[in-house]
A and B are shown apart, each in its own frame.
Chain A
Amino acid sequence: MLSVLIALPILGSLLLFLGLGGRKLAVVLSGIPLAISLLLFRGFDLQTAGMQWLERWDWIPQVGLNYSLGLDGLSLLMVALNGLITLIAVLTTEPDVKRPNLFYGLILLMSGAVNGAFAAQNLILFFLFYELVLIPIYLLISIWGSGKRDYAAIKFLIYTAVSAIFLLGAFLAIYWIGDPHSFELAEIRIADFSPAVQTLLLLAVIVAFGIKMPLIPFHTWLPDAYGESSPPVAMLLGGALSKLGTYGLFRFGLQLLPQAWADLGGILAWWGAIAVLAGALAAIAQKDIKRMVAYSSIGHMGYILLGMAAATPISLTGVMVQMVSHGLILALLFDLVGLVERKVGTRDLDVLNGLLNPIRGLPGISALLILGGMASAGIPGLVGFVAEFLIFQGSYSDFPLPTLIGILGTGLTAVYFVILLNRTCFGKLDNRTAYYPRVENWERIPGVTLAALILWFGIQPMNLVKWPQPLAFTLSTQVAQAQTIMLAEATDLAE
């Protein structure tokens, strides 16, 4: 079942590369994995926090590489999100995109690889899928991007490749230090590692995935990569690919190295809080809508780190919900920004004005943009609020000060989104330039779908929250145990 989620898009991409199919085939091929992942929700066992639908074949057993897959609450949500965003990205693509078969093929290849990474239960298998994304996304940015796309694409490529160095280094270390030597997630017993080694491993993992998420000092590829890529690609980058970073940090940082994680928790919480503030402040200074949204994305990654650092059941649930919510909201915003750019011809906040005008402006798009901005800023009734509230409530007991800073960051998020909405939607249209093309119906579908999901999950959060909850509870106990062990050892030493 899970193999289909990986194989179908990848085989489909080969068909497209051979010149068969086109847009319709791409829509079908990206729809089927989404449908399958939705079916998986029905069969999901809410009583267990472990992996479900396990599949395992020996691939190259001599080096410990097995093809082993499985899903738990978090990865199921991620796979579904990836499926949704892929479909939406294909639907958002302009029908007259140049070299369409290559474009859709690369999107599908990437989508299949991302599914593979989310489902992989073997470290090297994860690494393989993680690296597989590299070239498709490089080509997607550098062929279909705008302006400085060459620079943005190569920067992205190098950052991601560097991230892979840390990752492979950490994985090889886990394999050779561990007993038995294994890359299988289920077989790795970290508990025997010395604390120093665990901390080193965790640092490598944090840097590796901190580049991908991205966390604040490693983020400088992001504004360029998001800013210069076309809207569907930006959606995939922000919606699905950045989740690979948060997912990796969750799975290989928090879950695999709970003791070191508990040890570093305080630093990580502050790190997250600072990222929230820095992202928001940098977004306020931007003049380009896309870059503003890009920096907002950096800020939102700060919440995830904060919630993970606290590692309470509530905050971990919040983190997982935040991953989904961030994916939905970012996809919506990039879709709308792309539409505005396509119709109006600019992304500059100093030029845009009065788009809410019902006759000559883009009222539907503007309304959705307002909704998306509000969701991003954490207004109740929308999914962003649910996620952020869970994170804040879960983290406050452990890290009150960083949490308060995080809440301050939410306020700043509201500030720059108000600036954005004020400059684009409100005001008057410029009479000389305001002859915008009509928004076609097919162009509205992705935005409306995403907005509906954001609203629905905001009103009925249990539909989202219940899936990752078992995992959150199990993990938080693990971390708490690690913490008590650590405290006990510390008191032993003191005595």
Chain B
Amino acid sequence: MDIFAPTASLHAGAIWPEVVVTLTLLLVLVVDLVGGSSVRKSLPVLSILGLVGALVTLVLQWQQPQPESFLGSFAADPVSILFRGLVVGTALLTVMMAERYIVQSGTATGEFYVLLLTATVGGMFLSGATDLIMVFVALETLGIASYLMAGYTKKDPRSSEAALKYLLIGASSTAIFLYGMSLLYGLSGGQTHLEAIALHMGDAGLVGIIALVLCIGGIGFKLAAVPFHQWTPDVYEGSPTPVVAFLSVGSKAAGFALAVRFLATVFPAMTEEWQAVLSVLAILTMVLGNVVAITQTRLKRLLAYSSIGQAGFVLIGLVVGTEAGYASLIFYLLVYLVMNLGAFLCITLFSLKTGTDEINEYSGLYQKDPFLTLCLSICLLSLGGLPPLAGFFGKLYLFWAGWQAGAYTLVLVGLVTSVISIYYYVRVVKTIVVKEPQEMSVSVQNYPETNWQEEGMQALRVGMVFTLVATIFAGILSNPLFTLSTQAVEQSPFLGFPTAQAPTSESTRLQARVDGALGAFTTADG
């Protein structure tokens, strides 16, 4: 039974996953309103179930992608499905991370999940939006929900400051993006559909360039690419850790989805221009993100700069703009999801128990909490790109694709900055693993016994185990994942890489059908 049957021409089935998340959102809101504090425990469970449901519908959609729906304003092609999966996956792990955090911080429960799910829906719509208005509405849904989440622990002045800063920079960059979009609308003679705009961009001249730069400014803010990165360190430091985790992966993935779709669809006529601009951004992002991370003393701030650096690595895939480039971009974001969220899960656990995220306070942790030590070390080493972890293979693909396309400078900068990144990741590992018992920090000396029975701790543990296992094995067993991302790139029409096999298999199938028919005909004849 398809409830969208009357509106079949809209292909409304394309947004089933979003519908599931939206219904969950409403359900959480209503349950919270009606049940009050007695149903507090059921809210994260509801959210998790809803997000898992969304993942399942996404998997089902993978069988039947819908490149055109809602009169051309939304695409559910494979690339969009993967990016939406990334956003949902991030939200799922964020809920697991947040349950205990919310309980312990004493803030309201229901609203957090509602905001998170709203941001998720925004990110999902952004991943498939193919219309200027749609892009803007989805972007703002994600953005406003993020501002609210950043200032969620409102009694903490740092959280409020983070929210204010995020809002100011976010609102102005949205305005810049909006101005770029209005130029595009004007240039194309009143088109809002991305592909329709592209037809008019060939002879856009200087105004086209201005529109491009304004759009890159708006997108660069979401990716935290230098020089649009300045909000990141302060927001990451001040906001609640689960929110930071969501921003660092989910929001970033949505930003990359937007970047891939927007640049590839609207500006194919200006490929050289945007590739030049983005190469500069990529180099700046890799260098600044990784160099400044060295001097950080707080782990959340260190991960803020590291996430800037990581975005720089991912930009390599976007800049080269080849099939392998996009595929390695998607693959890297997939593994980045598990390793970065794994690291944030560990930070959350540590700060829940000690109330700090100073790197020095982690000294000697291996004695008190071996599991946390293992998980955090593996995730950080994977972020540094050490074999045989997932991050190594992710970087290998990115550099491989970069070299294939002849982007030697980018690859070399990437290689050098990953060595720098190894230094600061290993420095944290050193603090945790190497320090002697007598060098243990005060926090670790008073480290409480972990009680996994407390509310929300089980979810945290499940999340940690999942990310740990995935970080270890997603690299060694990366073949299916890599095939998945390559397929997605090949089968998404907007990127313009027609599958090599698809036409032939189509024609052979046709041939077979003709043969079959003929065979039936001849046998009937004989």
Contacts and interface: CB of A to CB of B under 8 A. Distances in A.
Contacts of A161: 419, 422
A173 B402 CA distance: 11
A476 interface: no
Interface string A44-70: 000000000000000111110100000
A93 B310 CA distance: 40
A172 B400 contact: yes
Contact of A128 (B388, B400, B412, B416): B388
Given A60-B478, A139-B434, A157 B388 contact: no
B423 A154 contact: yes
A62 B392 contact: no
A162 B422 CA distance: 11
B433 A143 contact: yes
Interface in B428-481: 429-430, 433-434, 478-479
B426 A138 contact: yes
Contacts of B433: 139, 143
B396 A124 contact: yes
A495 to B, nearest CB: 37
A161 to B, nearest CB: 4
B426 A157 contact: yes
B320 interface: no
A263 interface: no
Contacts of A168: 399, 415
Interface in A128-174: 128-129, 131-132, 134-135, 138-139, 142-143, 150, 154, 157-158, 161-162, 164-165, 168-169, 172-173
Contact of A62 (B403, B423, B430, B482): B482
B434 A176 contact: no
Contacts of B404: 176
A150 to B, nearest CB: 7
Interface in A202-253: none
Interface residues of A, number: 31
Contact of B388 (A132, A139, A143): A132
B387 interface: yes
Contacts of B400: 63, 172, 175
B419 A169 contact: no
Nearest to B385: A131
Given A62-B486, A128-B392, A157 B422 contact: yes
A244 B130 CA distance: 53
Contact of A63 (B387, B392, B396, B416): B396
Contacts of A59: 479
A132 B387 contact: yes
A172 B411 contact: yes
A142 B433 CA distance: 10
A60 B392 contact: no
A22 B396 CA distance: 36
B403 to A, nearest CB: 4
B387 A165 contact: no
Contacts of B427: 154
Nearest to B476: A59
A213 to B, nearest CB: 19
A157 B423 contact: yes
Contacts of B423: 154, 157-158
Given A158-B419, A165-B419, A168-B415, A135 B386 contact: yes
B482 A60 contact: yes
Nearest to B478: A60
Contacts of B429: 135
B381 interface: yes
Contact of B430 (A124, A142, A172, A175): A142
B381 A172 contact: no
B381 A135 contact: yes
B228 interface: no
B483 interface: yes
A128 B392 CA distance: 9
B426 A172 contact: no
A420 B31 CA distance: 81
Interface string A173-188: 1011000000000000
Contact of B434 (A128, A142, A157, A169): A142
Contact of B419 (A62, A124, A162, A173): A162
Contacts of A65: 396
A62 B399 CA distance: 14
B412 A169 contact: yes
A59 B393 CA distance: 12
A127 to B, nearest CB: 8
A63 B331 CA distance: 13
Contact of A60 (B387, B426, B434, B479): B479
Contacts of A62: 479, 482-483, 486
B161 to A, nearest CB: 35
B430 A63 contact: no
Contacts of A61: 479
Interface in B116-141: none
B386 A172 contact: no
A65 B478 CA distance: 11
B387 A128 contact: yes
B83 interface: no
Contacts of B399: 168, 172
A56 to B, nearest CB: 15
Contacts of B482: 60, 62-63
B397 interface: yes
B410 to A, nearest CB: 12
A143 B419 contact: no
Contacts of B393: 60
A131 B386 contact: yes
Nearest to A130: B387
A62 to B, nearest CB: 6
A65 B479 CA distance: 10
A143 B416 contact: no
A336 B341 CA distance: 48
A107 to B, nearest CB: 16
A333 to B, nearest CB: 27
A65 B399 CA distance: 14
Nearest to B367: A99
Given A128-B387, A142-B434, 4 more contacts: A61-B479, A131-B392, A132-B387, A157-B426
Interface of A: 59-63, 65, 124, 128-129, 131-132, 134-135, 138-139, 142-143, 150, 154, 157-158, 161-162, 164-165, 168-169, 172-173, 175-176
5 A-B pairs closest in CB distance: A172-B403, A161-B419, A165-B415, A128-B387, A131-B387
29 contacts: A60-B393, A60-B479, A60-B482, A61-B479, A62-B482, A62-B483, A62-B486, A63-B396, A63-B397, A128-B387, A128-B392, A131-B387, A131-B392, A132-B386, A134-B422, A135-B426, A138-B426, A139-B433, A143-B434, A150-B434, A154-B427, A158-B419, A158-B423, A165-B419, A169-B411, A169-B415, A172-B411, A176-B403, A176-B404
